[in-house]
Structure 1
Amino acid sequence: MKKKLLILLSAVMAFSLILSACGGGDAAKPADPGTKVETPAEGEKPAEGDSGLNTEGLNKATDPSKAPATAAARKDTVILGVPAPSGVFHPAYEESSYDVWVNDLLFTTLLEIQKDGSYAPHLGDYKVSDDNKTITFTLKDAKFSDGKPVTADDVVFTLTLLYDKSYDGPSDAFAYAPVVGAKDYKEGKAQSISGLKVVDPKTVEITLEKPSVLSLDVFGATGILPKHVYESAYKPGDLSKMKDTFLNPVGSGPYTLEKFVPKQEVVFKANPNYFLGAPKVPNLIYKATTEETNLQLVQTGETDGDTFISATLDNVEAIREFGFADLMLNPTNGYGFIGLNHKDEKFSDKRVRQALVYGLNRQDVVDGVYQGLADVINIPQSKVSWAYTDEVNKYEYDLEKAKALLDEAGWKVGADGIREKDGKKFTITFTASTPNTVNEVLIPIAKENYAQLGIDFVPDQMDFNALLDKVEKGNFEMVFLASALTPNPQISQGTFRTGGNQNKYFFSNPRVDELYKLANEEFDLEKRKAYYKEIYQITNEEVAQIFLYQRRDTLTTNSRIQGFDTSPYKDFTADAAAIQIQ
């Protein structure tokens, strides 16, 4: 689902490793929706042992009449369970998904994420110049919740804030959107940013120093602030007062903030001035829930749904037993993988790396952990993405092929059954965090599979912080981790480009480096798709990582609430103005 690229552009790259600290082996966040079918259609998969469950789409309520009376009595209010927001209700400073979900309702962005991760015009249309250095946004007729019009001045004001020398929010606009004049402004050599130009009240022209497709994520995914409200808190070089505005947000989104009670609830009222029309549900409430309470509150009717119920078979079965609940299951915004240290001499031969993939029964690992609620993957991309390709090696489990590759690479089975080359035994030290449910399944399977290949697989288990320290220092051979995915596939350059800030595995391929550069300078979607396709084919062929799985997230809603249409990239908040109570 969409997670405000303003955050993800920096936070994902800085913290993607941390995802594997969670008990399920990757991001602890499950939140999305699903379709109940007797015979799954193409692309739909039944869970293990349950042909009635659609694991990729909507599973509709079987008996809406079972809806609890408490929920049915609410005629003009929808209550959704979410993990507690922290109260950073400002689009330039939001750090967590939970604050993002609040800001999504209060503020409007120039562009919006589609279900496949591509962009579409929202508050503004845009065009890109032939040299890909100038982006022109044309605003639609819109008003802020106080009735004042949204203008080009508001857009420039909002974006200028991101380049201020005292800005300490999560966006790294300088890195991803190098605007002409931004450096001079930051250094106090100019009073404004020359590359941010107000052409007329409805038109903004932005000029970049060099083409960067990531700039759309900064410009298009940042909620627009009303200058007349926030300018009193804006002093160039000193944004300290901006944080005083967090609990008094004013925007142009579908709702306004009525009340915020920390760790309890956020109460919204429909914004009659919303440019797409007032929401159909007058009152919307986010109720703070936890893993211990979220399922029960849906069952009793205290909430109309929840965004964060873990996608386990037990939870899925419980939700379906309610009868009245719609359950959406979507691939999560992340994937699990085994990282190889490409500086390690034994991994230097591509045939060895490929043998390690062929020789590991990844399907057994994935099924053992997620019981049908995850897929084995072969590239670092979600299959719902516009950039996805299936034209890669699937590496089906094949011990004989793995053995042949190792033989070709010069690793011969010794008298003790362990392969050796140049007098060195083939031993892999597997750095593993504990407790970790993925490692609990992965280690015994890998140990057995690799023993059949003549490889001594030795787990070295430790707490996650110790593991992270080893990875940061490059002091590892093989490790299981998980990483986030974002709508913009360009973000993965940090992991797979030579010297990338998240390339902890020392993978390096000149063609991949060149392709990422070409892709970042190109705004045409089809041309970019071709670049990413080749990137994925190379990373698959070269085994940049051993790609393992993409699991599921859930969105659970009382069937009396209709209108949510989410995906891994498109959050439930995108439909807030359209949902209806039946």
Structure 2
Amino acid sequence: MKHLKSTLLASVLALPLAAPAALAETPEGVLVVAQNIDDIVALDPAQAYEFTSGELVTNLYDRLVQYDAEDTTVLAPGLATDWQADDAAKTITFTLRDGATFASGNPVTTEDVLYSFGRVIKLNLTPAFILAQLGWTPENVDQMVTAEGNTVKVTYDGDFSSAFVLNVLASRPASIVDSALVQEHEVDGDMGNAWLNENSAGSGPFTLDRYAPAQMVRMGANENYFNGAPEVDSVIIRHVAEAATQQLLLEQGDVDMARNLTPDQIASIDSEEIKVETFPQAAVHFLSFNQKTESLTPPAVWEAARYLVDYEGMTNSIIKGQMDVHQAFWPKGFPGSYDETPFTYDPEKAKAILDEAGVETPITVSMDVINAAPFTDMAQSLQASFADAGINFEILPGTGSQVITKYRERSHEAMLLYWGPDFMDPHSNAKAFAYNSDNSDGSYAATTTWRNAWAVPEALNKKTMAALSEADPEARLDMYRELQKSVQDSSPIVIMFQAAYQVAMDDDVTGYVNGATSDFVYYRLVDKD
């Protein structure tokens, strides 16, 4: 943008957030981002579980293996240059990268890896369950993860493949911390947790220079980063809660990027100096039918429903820019996704399916929905389009907690909701959409299948577990594609859309990467021409 240039970084931070400011330009070499960051609870990778926290951890830390900015679909070497998997022995041996250092200057050693993994399990904070899937406990983790020379041997206990284990080890809690630095700041046996929630001890492309809760985050470039120093000297993320204020700051040149603009604001931008980039996100949105409701149990109802969603109508209007048509449970852009979209809005075909199966209409069914845009608008669209085939929805709006509580209790009839993976492995969603080995009321499972009381056919259960344990990586992904096609063909869960995320930025900003999850937000390739 061609504005009067301010050379004082302090002026950027001091600008008022609610009133127009003098035209300015952000400092050279500094990326200034306007974003709502009040969700941050923790920055310690052993505790961080919020969206913004995930973004920061990714930019401050490395893992042994990781999905990197240059291609977020490829599992790449991180602090390990190579690895050897032995599925029979249930081990993976990693060779550490020579010369890698933490931002402190301390070398990255095998001791740091052992400490980091053990620390997550022993602290047992929110994300610890991801690593605990490998059969690790506070009592055995020191035997399950061992080192010799510059190699680390990871042993796991479970009937799953090494490909699954690698994806677990590429997740947020598997970040490697500088053990010497962290132990210097341990207080009362907290393994440095309090200190790491305000500081960083990683080897990533950035260091945490300053964190002021609900105010700002400043990250400085790690010039010694093994994958090359970032293009910018620093990234400043300003907490700006109001989307309107974010837009104002961007249009005035006081920030380089606005992360939380609404679709209406995006549409209102009228400047050749601002561009908008759209990034597919991991959340898939679906309509589901509780199989405790007798009228919703015929498979013909499930099939007809797939032709009663006005996919294009919604994506061209009420959810334009927010969602894209996607009809399979694993998100597009992730390895193993199934991207075919065979269903279109066709009420005549839906009626024919119901008639041929002898399903009596009209059917009246309540549909729970979160009482917020765009969900209520989507519910009204579904109400109108399903009525064309004699399926009449009674919309029950509620708070997010009310809706999810009913879902967990299996007390709903129909549900309009969304689902996102906990980490980058297709089993994370396959277990949710294609597996339910015990459908009894007392066997709670955090899956869409159990919550909709769908007793998944045993053949599909077996295929899900077979994919989990398949040793050949490509064959495994093919198995997940087949699982998605099966669920797409016949299931009481109608997957409709995949979330999309729009970011407005100065036209001079290039190289920003916003992958499908918060763990895939990267600033190290960003440049300001």
TM-score interval for Structure 1 and Structure 2 normalised by the shorter chain: 0.7 to 0.9
Q: 2:292 aligns with which of 321, 329, 343?
A: 343
Alignment-derived partner of residue 513 in structure 1 = 461
Structure 1 residue runs without a partner (length 5+): 1-64, 186-191, 413-417, 420-425
2:239 corresponds, among 268, 288, 299, to: 288
1:229 match: 181
Cα distance change of structure 1 residues 431 and 74 upon mapping to structure 2, 3 Å threshold:
closer
Question: Aligned to 2:75, which of 103, 116, 119?
Answer: 119
Q: Is the 8 A contact 1:118 1:487 kept in 2?
A: no
Distance 1:540 1:244 in 2: 47
Aligned length: 490
Report if the CA contact (8 A) 2:58-2:519 is conserved: no
- Give distance in 1, aligned partners of 2:230 and 2:387: 60
| Distance change in 2, residues 1:565/1:244 (3 Å) | closer
Q: Are positions 1:501 and 2:450 aligned together?
A: no
The TM-score, its normalising length taken from structure 2, stands at 0.84
DSSP 3-state at the match of 1:281: coil
Which secondary structure does the structure 1 equivalent of 2:143 belong to? coil
Does 2:94 match 1:137?
yes
Q: 449, 459, 467: which one pairs with 2:385? A: 449
| Cα 1:520/1:511, change in 2 over 3 Å | same
Residue in 1 aligned with 2:527?
A: 580
Please, which of 101, 107, 110 is the counterpart of residue 149 of structure 1?
107
TM-score scaled by length of structure 1:
0.77
Please say if 1:101 is aligned against 2:48.
Answer: no
Q: Is the 8 A contact 2:258 2:505 kept in 1?
A: yes
Q: Is the 8 A contact 1:68 1:301 kept in 2?
A: no
Cα deviation 1:80-132 (Å, max 9, x = unaligned): 22322636332111121212222223222222215453411122132211427
Counterparts of 1:433 and 1:130 in 2: how far apart (Å)? 44
1:399–1:561: structure 2 CA closer, same or farther, 3 Å change rule? closer
In the TM superposition, what whole-angstrom CA distance separates every residue of 1:244-291 from its partner, at most 9, and x where no partner exists? 442232221222222222222222222233222333322321211222
Q: Which SS does the other structure have where 1:88 is aligned?
A: coil
Q: String of CA shifts for 1:413-445, please: whole Å, max 9, x gaps.
A: xxxxx44xxxxxx322223343443323433x4
Q: How far apart in 2 are the matches of 1:218 and 1:84?
A: 26
1:427 match: 364
Is 2:190 the counterpart of 1:239? yes
- Counting aligned pairs with the same residue, the percent is 22
Q: Is the 8 A contact 2:326 2:339 kept in 1?
A: no
Return the structure number with greater relative CO, CA threshold 8 A, min gap 6: 1
8 Å CA contact 1:163–1:173 kept in 2: the answer is: no
Shift in CA distance, 352/239, structure 1 to aligned 2, threshold 3 Å: same
The CA distance in 2 between the partners of 1:123 and 1:324, in whole Å, is 39
For 1:270, the equivalent position in structure 2 comes to: 221
Q: Label 1:285 to 1:518 Cα distance change in 2 as closer, same or farther (>3 A).
A: same
What is the CA deviation profile of residues 213-253 of structure 1, one whole-angstrom value per residue up to 9, with x for unaligned ones? 44323423322111112235669x95375224422322212
Letter in 2 for 1:144: F
Does residue 404 (structure 1) correspond to residue 352 (structure 2)? The answer is: yes
Residues 349 and 464 of structure 1: CA distance in aligned 2, closer, same or farther (over 3 Å): same
Match of 2:335 in 1: 386
Counterpart residue type for residue 293 of structure 1: T
**Compared CA separation, residues 469 and 572, structure 1 to 2 (3 A):** closer
- Which residue of 159, 167, 184 maps to 2:139? 184
Contact conserved, 1:367 with 1:374, CA < 8 A, in 2?
no
AA partner of residue 244 (structure 2): E
Distance 2:370 2:104 in 1: 51
1:528–1:68 CA distance, 2 compared to 1 (3 A): farther
1:478, distance to aligned residue in structure 2 (A): 0.7
Aligned to 1:324: 273
Distance in structure 2 (CA, Å) of the matches to 1:374 and 1:89: 29
Q: Tell me the secondary structure at the aligned position of residue 322 of structure 1.
A: coil
* 2:35/2:240 contact within 8 Å kept: yes
> SS at the partner of 1:384?
coil
- Aligned-residue Cα RMSD (Å) equals 2.7
Q: 1:216: which partner in 2? A: 166
In structure 2, the CA distance between the partners of 1:97 and 1:197, relative to structure 1 (3 Å rule), is same
- Distance change in 2, residues 1:405/1:80 (3 Å): same
Once residues 513 and 68 of structure 1 are traced to their aligned partners in structure 2, the CA distance between those partners, rounded to angstroms, is: 63
CA distance in 2, matches of 1:373, 1:472: 26
Q: 1:365 to 1:80 in 2, by over 3 A?
A: closer
Tell me the alpha carbon deviations over residues 478-524 of structure 1, each in whole angstroms, 9 at most, x when there is no partner: 11111224532211134221054223112212232222212222353
Q: Which residue of 1 aligns with 2:408?
A: 472
Alignment partners' CA distance in 2, 1:130 and 1:327: 45
Change (3 A) 1:242 1:551: closer
Deviations 1:192-233 (A, max 9, x none): 621211111x21011112335443234233221111122356
Give the structure 1 partner of residue 14 of structure 2: none
What amino acid maps onto 1:315 in structure 2? Q
Find the counterpart in structure 2 of residue 305 from structure 1: 257
Match of 1:253 among 191, 204, 215: 204
Deviation (angstroms), 1:318 = 3.5
Gap regions ≥5 residues in structure 2? 7-23, 439-444
Conserved 8 A contact 1:430-1:479: yes
Q: CA deviation at 1:540?
A: 0.8
Out of 48, 70, 82, which is 2:35 matched to? 82
Q: CA, structure 1 residues 216+106, in 2 after alignment: closer, same or farther (shift >3 Å)?
A: same
Deviations 1:11-43 (A, max 9, x none): xxxxxxxxxxxxxxxxxxxxxxxxxxxxxxxxx
- Show CA shifts across 1:369-412 (max 9, x none): 223653222212322222122456x2222223222221222224
